[in-house]
Every structure is written in structure tokens, then in C-alpha cells.
Amino acid sequence: MHELSIAEQILDIANEYSERENVKAVQEIELEIGSLSGIEVDALTFALDVVTKNTVLHNAKVTIIDVPARARCESCSHEFLLEDFFSPCPECGAFQTETIQGQELRVKSLIVNDG
């Protein structure tokens, strides 16, 4: 369950930015997770629940922005949405494709309330 180490990295990043901005509690955290990033979103939200107890992320809303995977065919340069790593190009049927989007794992923003 590598989602646990991913959750710990997310907390580290949230801590770093909260300290820098002098934030005590985060209301919401936005994550960009590529559909082929290798992360199980349910496992990640569960892991986040566990590691964020009594931290700046305690009870913060977790918003997951799904980034759909896209690939470019090396044979015909067609770009298409990819559901898995082993689908051929829908235009020419070639398997020689490069993933150009969908493996993202990013913390996009923290939403905080200074009031």
C-alpha cells in the first residue's frame, strides 16, 4: 500500500507551505491525480485520514482532480484518451504509443481560512 507513503509526502508538502504562510489549519487540499498514476484514490483518502490526525490537514476536505490519461501514437501522431497502458492507437492500431498525460501526482493548492 504505497498510498500511505504518498499520503505522508502530501502531509510534508502541506506542512511546509503552512509554516511558510503561517497557517494553523487547512480547510481544503486540492490534489491532481492522473488516471494512470498508479494510485488507488480510495486507498489514498483512507491513508490521508490516518496520517493527518492532529496535523494542519486534520479534517481538511480532500478534493481530487482527476487528470485523464492521453497518449500520442508514434506511428501516426494521433493523440487520444487512454484508459490503460496497453490499448492500441484507435486510428492506426499501433501499440507504439507514448503517454503524454495522466501520470500526474501533484498538490495543486491549499485553501485556508485566515479569519
Partner 1 sequence: MCDTCGCTQPDDAVTIRKPEDAHIHEHTHADGHSHTHEHPHASGQDHTDPHAHDHSHDHDHTHDHSHPHTHDHEGRSIAVETDILQKNNLLAERNRGYFEAKNILALNLVSSPGSGKTSLLERTIRELSGRMAINVIEGDQQTMNDANRIQAAGAPVVQVNTGNGCHLDSDMVHRAVKQLQPADDSVLMIENVGNLVCPSLFDLGESQRVVIMSITEGEDKPLKYPNMFRSSQVCIINKMDLLPHLDFDLEKAKEYALQVNHHLQFIELSVKTGEGFDAWLQWLEQRTKK
**Interface with partner 1 by CB under 8 A: which residues?**
1-2, 5-6, 9-10, 12-13, 17, 21, 23, 27-28, 31, 36-39, 84-86, 88, 95-96, 99, 105-115
CB closer to partner 1 out of 40 and 79:
40
Residue 57 in contact with residue 66, Cβ under 8 Å?
no
Residue 90 belongs to what H/E stretch?
A: none
Q: How far is the CB of 114 from partner 1 (least distance, A)?
A: 6
Cα 10 from chain centroid (whole Å): 10
Q: How far is the CB of 92 from partner 1 (least distance, A)?
A: 14
With cell 493527518, the residue in question is 52
Q: How far is the CB of 26 from partner 1 (least distance, A)?
A: 9
Residue 62 in contact with residue 45, Cβ under 8 Å?
yes
CB closer to partner 1 out of 79 and 99:
99
CB closer to partner 1 out of 28 and 66:
28
Q: How far is the CB of 5 from partner 1 (least distance, A)?
A: 7
Dihedral sign for Cα 75, 78, 79, 80, please: negative
Nearest to 77 by CA among 101, 65, 94: 94
